[in-house]
Amino acid sequence: MELKNYPKDLEEYEQDTQTDEQPDEQPIQDHPIISVIKFLPLVLFASLVLFLKFDLLLAAPISTFAAILVYMLTTKVSFEGAFDQGIEATKKIILIFFILMFATTVAECFMRTGVGASMIKIALLLGITGRSVAVVSLLVTCIISFATGSSWGTFAACAPIFLWLSHIVGGSPILTVGAIAGGACFGDNIGMISDVTFLSCHMQDVKIIARVKHQVFWSLGCVLISAVVIYLFSLPLPNTAGDPSGIFSTIPQQTFADLEAERPSAAIMLTQVRDGVPYYMVIPVIIVIGLSFMGCHTLLCLGSGILSSLLLGTIAGTVSFSSWFASDGPIYSGFADAGSWVIIMVMWVSVFAGVMNAMKTFEPLKRMVVRMSRNVHHLMGWCSVLCLLGNAALADESAQVTTMSPIIRELVEQNTECDTKEDAYQLRVKLATFTSSMGIYGSELIPWHCFPVFFASIATTVYPLYIFTPVDIIRQNFTSFIMIGSILILTFTGWDRFIPNFGLPKSARLKKRSASGLNQL
C-alpha cells in the first residue's frame, strides 16, 4: 500500500486519503550551474553566521531576500509569488509561536518560583565526592532541564553550584562542566515543555507524547552509559564526601552579580537554592508531566505549569501575586523573551526554508541520498546526517529544525511506503527525533555553535578560576558523543530494533525505483 498524503494526527488516519495513481514522470533537472546558484543563499546564511558573526535575527532576513532574488532569477516568478512561498511555509507553524511563548514563560516561572531550586535541593541531599560530583551534576541537570525545558537556563543555574562544589571536593572542573552541558540539553531534547521538542514535532505533524514514548528508552540508556563513562574517568579523583552547605560561602559575590546580568532568572534560582524553598514546589513539574501523558493539549499542559507554579510560589513566598503580571514579572518576561528573539528568528528562517524548498534547491542532495540508500535504514540514517550538517551550517538548532524538517520529510515520503498509516506516522516520529537530537546534542559538538559558546562564557563567568573554551565543553561532553554516535550507528545498522519503541516500523521499505532510479525527486 502506498501512502502519499499523511494526515497531521494519528486519529485522523480514518479519513479517506485515497488518491488516483499517477504514472511516474521523469522529473526535470536543473542545469548544474543553476543548481549551484540555488545553493548560494544557504552559503550566504552560513557565512553571515559563522564568519561575520551576524545574529540570526539579521542573517535570516538577509538570506531570505537573497533566496527570493535567486528564485526570481532562476524560475522567472514575481517577487510576490516568491515571497508567498515563504509565507505559506510560515502559516503551517503558526501554533508553534504560541507554544514557544508559553514554553519560555513556563521556564521563567519554574526558575523564579522555586520549582527548579526545590529539585536541586533534593539532589544535593546526596553524599557528593570528587569522584561522584560530575555524575551527580549530569543526573541533576537532566532532571532540571526536563522539568524546565530550558538547556541554557539549566546550565546557567547549575554551573555555579556544581563547579564550586567540584572545587570543594577535589573534582575535575572540565569533567564537571562537560557533564553539566550534557545533562542541561537532555530536557531540551525530550522534555514536554521544550521549545525544540515542540518545533520538531510540529514540523512533522506528530504528537509530543508519541515522540517521547519513541525515544525515552534510548535517551535514558544514553544517560546511563554516560554516567558510567564519566564515573570511570572520575576514578582517580578523591572519594571524600564534601559538605554542600559550604558551596555558597566559596562563591564570590561578583559571580552572583555577573550571573544576574547574564541570566537573571538563573541567578534567582541559585539564590533560592542557597536560602531554601519548600519541597512541595516540585508539584508543578508533576502536574505538567501528568497532563502530557494524559494526552492534554500542549497549551493546556504549559498553562497548568505556569498557574500552579505561581500559586504555589505565592504560598511559599518566592513570588507575590502583584509580581505575576508586573513588567519585570515571570509572565511578562517569558512572553517578551520569546517575542524578542526566538519567535521572530523562527518566523524568518521558516520563510527562508519555504523559498529554498519552493525552488527545489535540495533536489540534487536528495537524489544523492536516495542513490546511496540500499534500504530504509540507510535512507533514515542519511536524513539524520543531513540534520547534523544543517546544524553545523546554520549554527542554531531551531534554524536547523525549521530548515531541514520539510526536506527530510519530503525525502522519506517520496521514497518509502508502509502497510499501515500508523507505520507511516512512526517514520515521521523518527524524523522528529532526528531533527531534535541532531539539533540539540549535535550543537554541543560544533565549536562555533551558539550552545558551546554560551556554555563556555557562562562557565568562565561563574567559575573564574578556569578559562573555559567551547573545545573544553566538547571534549569532555560524553553524553553528546554517545547520543549522536548511538543514533547514527543504530539507525544505519538497523540495531535500533533492539531498543524498545525505537526501531523503524517493520513494514517500512523503500519504494521500487522508476526507470530514472528515483521517485519523483
Is 445 a member of any domain?
Answer: no
Share of the chain above pLDDT 90, in %: 44
| Region 52-60 average pLDDT | 88
C-alpha cell at 205: 505533524
- Ranking 188-192, 279-283, 423-427, 474-478 by mean pLDDT, the lowest is 188-192
Residue 48: inside a domain: no
Q: Given the DSSP bridges, would you call strands 509-510 and 128-129 parallel, antiparallel or unpaired?
A: unpaired
Res 291 pLDDT > 70: yes
Q: What are phi and psi of 79, to 5 degrees?
A: -60, -45
Q: Which CA distances in Å does 10 have to 7, 55, 186, 363?
A: 7, 38, 26, 29
Residue 375, pLDDT score: 95
| pLDDT above 80: residue 8 | no
> What is the per-residue pLDDT for 379?
96
Which position has the higher pLDDT, 240 or 382?
382
Rounded to 5 degrees, φ, ψ at 502 are -100, -15
The pLDDT value recorded for residue 10 is 42
Which position has the higher pLDDT, 162 or 62?
Answer: 62
- pLDDT over 80 at 22, yes or no: no
* pLDDT at position 362: 86
Mean residue pLDDT across the chain: 85
272: amino acid identity, one letter: Q
* 92 occurs within a structural domain: no
Backbone phi, psi, residue 417, to 5°: -145, 155
d(CA 370, CA 50): 29
Q: Among 89-93, 366-370, 432-436, whose mean pLDDT is lowest? A: 89-93
The pLDDT-based confidence of 218 (bands split at 50, 70, 90) is: very high
Give tens-digit pLDDT for 305-346.
Answer: 899 999 999 999 999 999 998 988 899 988 888 777 778 888
The top-scoring range by mean pLDDT among 15-29, 97-111, 339-353, 378-392 is 378-392
Domains identified in the chain, total number: 1
Domain span holding position 312: 97-336
**Residues 138, 180 contacting (CB under 8 angstroms):** yes
**232-247 pLDDT, tens digit each:** 999 999 887 666 666 6
Whether the pLDDT of residue 251 is over 80: the answer is no
Higher pLDDT: 104 or 436? It is 436
Is 375 part of a structural domain of the chain?
no
Residue 177 lies in a domain: yes
Residue 241 lies in a domain: yes
User: Per-residue pLDDT for 21 more than 50?
Assistant: no
Under a CB-based contact definition with an 8 Å cutoff, are residues 100 and 195 in contact? yes
**Helix (H), strand (E), coil (C) string for 363-420:** HHHHHHHHHHCCCHHHHHHHHHHHHHHHHHHHCCHHHHHHHHHHHHHHHHHHHEECCC
The pLDDT score that the predictor gives to residue 245 is 64
| CA–CA distances in Å: residue 463 to residues 111, 160, 166 | 21, 7, 11
Q: How far is CA 3 from CA 99, 410, 417, 511, in A?
A: 30, 12, 6, 11
CB neighbourhood size of 14 (10 A)? 9
Dihedral, 311, 313, 316, 320 alpha carbons, nearest 10: -90
Encode 180-236 in three state secondary structure: HHHHHCHHHHHCCCCHHHHHHHHHCCCCHHHHHHHHHHHHHHHHHHHHHHHHHHHCC
Query: Which of 209-213, 231-235, 240-244, 419-423 shows the lowest per-residue confidence on average (mean pLDDT)?
Result: 240-244
The answer to whether residue 508 sits within a structural domain is no
Do the Cβ atoms of 67 and 353 come closer than 8 Å?
no
For 455-466, what is each residue's pLDDT tens digit?
Answer: 888 888 778 778
Residue 151 belongs to some domain of the structure: yes
Would you say 116 and 157 are in contact if contact means Cβ atoms under 8 Å apart? Answer: yes
